[in-house]
Chain A
Amino acid sequence: MYLPVIGLEVHAQLLTKSKMFCSCSTDHENAPPNTLVCPICMGMPGVLPVPNKKAIELLIKTALALNCEISPFSKFDRKNYFYPDLPKGYQISQYDLPLARGGYVEFEVDSEIKRVRLKRIHLEEDTGKLLHVGEGDRLAEAEYSLVDLNRCGIPLMEIVTEPDIHSPKEARLFLQELRKILRYLEVSSGDMEKGSLRCDANVSVMTEKGILGIRTEIKNVNSFYSLEKALEYEIERQINLLKEGKEVIQETRHWDEKKQITVTLRGKEEAEDYRYFPEPDIPPIIISKEILEEIKKTIPPLPLQRKLLLQNTLFLSPIESEIITSEKELCEFFDECLKLYNNPKNLSNWITVELMSYLNDQKLNFRDLNIEPKRFVKIIEMVDKNEITRPVGKEILRKYLDTKEDPEKIVEKEGLKTVSDLDFLKEIVKRVIDGNERAVLDYLKGKKNVINFLVGQVMKETKGRASLDLVKNLLEEELNKR
């Protein structure tokens, strides 16, 4: 048996309007190449960096929320290396005095709370983007490359964990929880597919005797799924090597998404000597108690806390709580609704069943919706008061979300109020029984389930406006006469 030992290095772009050291916009997603660039972020001769206060605050906010210790004295350093996406020939980063150290992230693995400790969190600038031109647009196959500097200089936070993770699944759950936290804190969009959240993994395997193996670093993991897959592959590769009596080599490996394997990128002896030294263009950072207190005030409860609260005080099920806290906006929506409607269990049911099925069908995230708690609660209340039936309520919810029309008006306009006129219903029941002879025969022969079919027919006739129980009773009454 071997125990995987995994540590992650997570890079998250911070949600600032402007770049880390200049005033260019960070909104680079759809910008044409090299249009969000100025002399500072392109590293022209003579330019100087001025740090973005907001980026420092967002990092500290994250660090406080993750229980880190904030360094009272911190500084920027230069990390020197040559690459075309790094126009200054150095990246402004933090070396021996990062803004934050220690801390941890807690998350659930199979209903158990797991804690992963953090080494440090530091601030740096993102690099530009390279477009590889040639067969297969991959680095190794490219004939030449093109450099777009729009992304260059976007503030980047690097979160480094201790090697506390022991399975690929744990790694994925950790990263998912971390993203959720970053979104709750509103410090990063956390979109892995857009590259605003990136992750490198360090992995080794420990033998039964507790001897730690040689580790490798995996780069180019671009989704939660590939993180898990890449780790599974790499752990198996390492175990196989050891079983064959071979050695794992300390190196950096590249996750090949197409082939689903890791391949050697560079060895230890090829590792760069980054020649870090203090950035002479930026004076040090001194974080006072006052600054910390100000930032502390802006930190909301974290998703796991919220989830446990829903479970323990409102007695929602773990699954329901998980769904409701999966997005900060949804969780806030739940809170708002709860102020208007004091039946958490029922509210949760409407959210986790009806609302979620709408989102799934439409392939939307909750935060893409523009839903008013007042209107949502109104729909539930109408159902509760029997003014409309549940199927109608569900239909109204969809119509409301599609059109944003007032649900009460929809009910009125389309005449969807529950039918309580007994004579009218009895007439329909008779009509359904008369028109479905075979079903009626089956029922009378003892196939009692057929009644559901007949109920459905009645509901169809009433456009779902009748109470289910009532229809069933009337049907049974009428059938028993036959």
Chain B
Amino acid sequence: MIRNFIQQLRKTAHLARLNLTEEEEELYSKQLEEILNYFQKLQELDTSNVEPMAHVLPLNNVWREDEIKESMEKELILKNAPEIENNCFKVPKIVKNI
């Protein structure tokens, strides 16, 4: 069971692009299993006729007019970037299937 969950955890950590140490893997899989078990409680409730709620306010059609405003100076856009070249963000080799 636990080993199974470690597989699950590794897959999830890959999806989330998180490097986990072995200790973290062990700790998280134990904790997350416990948390998810507790969350099973939700299955007690019958929600077959309930609409899901993604927004709490009864708002809709919040749109803006198609108007151009000044962009930000590129110096400010790039200021916090770890690495830049030719006014672009620099990234290392993109390997197959990212």
A interface residues with partner B (beta carbon < 8 Å): 16-18, 23-25, 32-39, 42, 50-56, 75, 82-84, 130-132, 139-140, 142-149, 265-266, 270, 273, 275, 277-278, 280, 282-286
Contact = CB atoms under 8 A, between A and B. Distances in A.
Interface stretch (B1-9, B22-30, B32-40, B58-66): B58-66
18 contacts: A23-B67, A24-B71, A34-B77, A37-B74, A50-B64, A53-B66, A82-B98, A83-B98, A84-B89, A84-B91, A131-B88, A145-B91, A146-B90, A275-B15, A277-B54, A280-B54, A283-B55, A283-B62
Contacts of B48: none
B72 A52 contact: no
Contacts of B50: none
The residue in B17, B85, B89 that gathers the most chain A C-beta atoms within 10 A of its C-beta is B89
A176 to B, nearest CB: 28
B21 interface: no
Nearest to B66: A54
A142 B93 contact: yes
B78 interface: yes
Closest 5 pairs (CB-CB, A-B): A146-B88, A54-B66, A23-B69, A278-B54, A53-B63
B90 to A, nearest CB: 6
A172 B90 CA distance: 37
B19 interface: no
Contact of B86 (A33, A50, A83, A142): A33
Given A23-B69, A37-B74, A37-B77, A282 B91 contact: no
Nearest to A42: B77
Contacts, number: 120
A52 B63 contact: yes
A140 B92 CA distance: 12
B85 A146 contact: yes
A17 B90 contact: no
Contacts of B54: 75, 277-278, 280
B57 interface: yes
A399 to B, nearest CB: 40
Contacts of B43: none
B72 A142 contact: no
Nearest to A140: B96
A24 B68 contact: yes
Contacts of A270: 97
Given A24-B68, A34-B74, A273-B15, A139 B63 contact: no
A17 B66 CA distance: 6
Contacts of A82: 17, 98
B93 A285 contact: no
Nearest to A141: B93
Interface of B: 15, 17, 54-55, 57, 59-69, 71-72, 74, 77-78, 85-94, 96-98
Contacts of A16: 66
A34 B67 contact: no
Nearest to A273: B15
Contacts of A32: 74, 87
Contacts of A34: 74, 77-78, 87-89
The residue in B55, B72, B98 that gathers the most chain A C-beta atoms within 10 A of its C-beta is B72
A312 B3 CA distance: 73
Nearest to A84: B91
B59 A283 contact: yes
Nearest to A22: B69
B46 to A, nearest CB: 22
B66 A285 contact: no
A55 B65 CA distance: 10
B62 A282 contact: yes
Given A33-B74, A265-B96, A283-B60, 18 more contacts: A24-B68, A24-B69, A33-B88, A34-B88, A39-B72, A50-B62, A52-B64, A52-B66, A53-B63, A53-B64, A84-B94, A144-B91, A145-B93, A145-B94, A266-B96, A280-B55, A283-B57, A286-B61
B62 A38 contact: no
Contacts of B66: 16-18, 52-55
Contacts of A131: 88
Given A18-B67, A24-B68, A285 B90 contact: no
A464 to B, nearest CB: 52
B15 to A, nearest CB: 6
A207 to B, nearest CB: 31
Contact of A23 (B17, B62, B64, B92): B64
Contacts of A286: 60-61
A56 B63 contact: yes
A35 B78 CA distance: 10
